[in-house]
Structure 1
Amino acid sequence: MRDSVQEILAAPPEIVGIELPPASVKLNLLPESWRRRRLQLARQAEWRKRLLWVGGAYLAVLLLLLAYLGLLRFQVGRLDRQIARDAPETAFVRAAETNWKALAPAIDPHFYPVEILLHLFESLPPGGEVRITAYNQSARQISVDGEANTAALAYEFFEKVKKNPELRIFQFDMAAPRILPNDHAQFRLEGRPR
């Protein structure tokens, strides 16, 4: 190849050194105010982009919230329609429940007057010194009036009634017995279901 170059140029070729380009120094010939303005515009564009992302996210959350509220409103309406549709059956069930609750004392053997009287007589102290003079029972209350030879016997009867396991379904109260002129004690027991 050297020979062909020598023939063309009619001079002997010399090895040429390859020069490196000058150092990469950017010549910035723009005025300083233009550079600041360009930087300011770049920052504004970046902030606009950020604000658009934040606004879009806010709008998306707002739309999701509105969709959720619409869904809730739809479900509430559906439940209201179901409640209105089931109202007659619900009223029937509530009326039946009220009737059964009213009948409960009459159906439950623990509330039978004969059973309660039997357990009261089982609680009487021996010797016939305590007598039951009146017995009243309603659906929610029992009252027993009686007379004992002494106030101590009236309290003894009260304690036996409270301890009787068959009468534990009631909570009994007794006021202080009234002492009669013949030194007998007149008492009144009142019991309410627990």
Structure 2
Amino acid sequence: MSFAASTLLLPSPDATWRVWKPRSTSGGEAVETPSSVANQGKPLVVGLPATACRTVGMILPNADHEILEQIIITQLERKGLKLEGGAHRNFRWHLLTQTASLATVSVDILADPFPQDLALSQASDYTAALRLLSLPNGHLVIAEEHGALVLAANYQGKLYHSHLFAPATAAADEIAQDITLARLALEQDLGVGSISGITLVGSAWVPEITETLTSSTELPTRVVPHLPPNNELDTKSWPQLLPASVRVAQTSASRRGNLIRFSILGGLLFVAMGFLAFAYLRFQEKTASELEAAVEATAEPAMQVKKTVERWKALAPAIEPRRYPMFILAEITKLMPPSGIVIRDFEIKDNEIDIRGEARDAQMAFQFVEDLQKHSVLGQYSWSKPQPTVRDKTAQFRAQGKRQ
């Protein structure tokens, strides 16, 4: 995401705010409070005043990003700043430049506690207000934010350090003294001669102040009405920085939105299912009516067909060769062993066969019935167990088969 496609909310010299829309060059639209910014569908980036976001610059030994972040956390904790890491981090560091041995970083740290009037649930990101602006390279910037003076230093046009140092009503001598002290401290980090001038931002500066600052600090001083947004900033690699209260509000809003969407989808699904069920019921009723009509139309012909089938079934023993008594008897005879089985009585009645005979022993009687069950034609009958009775050294048995 580029700031050129974002709406920026920046503090004004007085207690109001300015809304910079994408591609705007007119100085922004004034609003009374941050909450009065309308959601226009574009990402809203809130530029925080120095009272809500402190910016600290550091020169550190160069290392990979994970180790460098641990060094930054350690250095800031030594300064007494309370930091939170992980998903709820309250700081973000920016790598301004790095060499083989040194890394120049600038860290934005949210105030604790964070001002509730700045906790906007529609905000997409927070950062220091001066980081969003184009800073004159090598100049100390003195800007008024909500009635207080802020001093900012930059490195190659990128915000390096900023802090509140005086009320807006401070005298020129007091401002010059603070600038001199800040210059000495900053040049220890950035190098002697890195600060080449002073830029006063705003329209309330009087010529006497610029003359005093120039003579006291020996730095050329100029006045600009405002600093334009830096449209070249690209935040694709920036981790999101949000106050804890904003994260909670956005998470709750997301859950509510998901619940509402699921409820709407569930309602639509219920209506769709009801419509489908109604349509299916109507279709089934229509199909049932058509089937009833078809049944009524074919009832009499179907009855005639059924009677015909029954007649053919009754004639099956007489017209089907494989059901002729002589054919069946021949097949039974083929299954009989050369000796040991004698058929005493053979009777066929409709679909039943009744065989009475004698076997040498009970085992042979059982084997004979098993052979009947395995036969291709006789196996179509369900045969009862022979239950032989042994008399006079022979086993008399009876096997009954019923066509399946």
Shorter chain as normaliser: what TM range? Answer: 0.5 to 0.7
Question: Matched residues in 2 for 1:65 and 1:160: separation?
Answer: 58
2:30 pairs with 1:25: yes
Unaligned runs of 5+ in 1: 1-20, 29-53
Partner of 2:100: none
Unaligned runs of 5+ in 2: 1-25, 34-263
- AA of the residue aligned to 1:25: A
Partner of 1:139: 350
Partner of 1:83: 295
- AA of the residue aligned to 2:397: F
Tell me how many residue pairs correspond in the alignment: 151
Partner of 1:50: none
2:131 pairs with 1:126: no
Tell me the CA shift for residue 73 of structure 1. 3.1
Question: Matched residues in 1 for 2:384 and 2:28: separation?
Answer: 111
**Partner SS state of residue 126, structure 1:** coil
Question: Matched residues in 2 for 1:150 and 1:73: separation?
Answer: 67
**8 Å contact 2:357–2:396 — kept in the other structure?**
yes
> CA separation of 1:160/1:94 partners in 2, compared to 1, >3 Å: closer, same or farther?
closer
Question: Matched residues in 2 for 1:151 and 1:134: separation?
Answer: 18
- AA of the residue aligned to 2:396: Q
Question: Matched residues in 2 for 1:63 and 1:161: separation?
Answer: 61
Partner of 1:98: 310
Deviations 1:94-149 (A, max 9, x none): 2222333333343322221111111222223325x532121222333211001235
Tell me the TM-score normalised to structure 2 length. Answer: 0.30
**8 Å contact 1:169–1:193 — kept in the other structure?**
yes
What's the % identity of the aligned pairs?
A: 27
**Partner SS state of residue 168, structure 1:** helix
> CA separation of 1:163/1:24 partners in 2, compared to 1, >3 Å: closer, same or farther?
closer
Partner of 2:396: 186
Tell me the CA shift for residue 189 of structure 1. 1.3
Structure number having the greater helix percentage = 1
**Partner SS state of residue 25, structure 1:** strand
Tell me the CA shift for residue 76 of structure 1. 2.8
- AA of the residue aligned to 1:145: R
**Partner SS state of residue 298, structure 2:** helix
**8 Å contact 2:322–2:328 — kept in the other structure?**
yes
> CA separation of 1:88/1:149 partners in 2, compared to 1, >3 Å: closer, same or farther?
same
Question: Matched residues in 2 for 1:150 and 1:63: separation?
Answer: 75
Question: Matched residues in 2 for 1:27 and 1:160: separation?
Answer: 106
Tell me the TM-score normalised to structure 1 length. Answer: 0.55
**8 Å contact 2:389–2:397 — kept in the other structure?**
yes
**8 Å contact 2:354–2:400 — kept in the other structure?**
yes
**8 Å contact 2:365–2:386 — kept in the other structure?**
no
2:119 pairs with 1:114: no
Deviations 1:157-192 (A, max 9, x none): 445544555533334333331122x32321111223
> CA separation of 1:23/1:68 partners in 2, compared to 1, >3 Å: closer, same or farther?
same
Deviations 1:48-69 (A, max 9, x none): xxxxxx7xx79x8567765664
> CA separation of 1:189/1:23 partners in 2, compared to 1, >3 Å: closer, same or farther?
closer
**8 Å contact 2:366–2:386 — kept in the other structure?**
no
**8 Å contact 2:387–2:397 — kept in the other structure?**
yes
Deviations 1:33-92 (A, max 9, x none): xxxxxxxxxxxxxxxxxxxxx7xx79x856776566445433432332222122111222
- AA of the residue aligned to 1:81: A
> CA separation of 1:161/1:22 partners in 2, compared to 1, >3 Å: closer, same or farther?
closer
Question: Matched residues in 2 for 1:66 and 1:157: separation?
Answer: 64
Superposition RMSD on alpha carbons, in Å?
Answer: 4.0
**8 Å contact 1:120–1:161 — kept in the other structure?**
yes
**8 Å contact 2:373–2:379 — kept in the other structure?**
yes
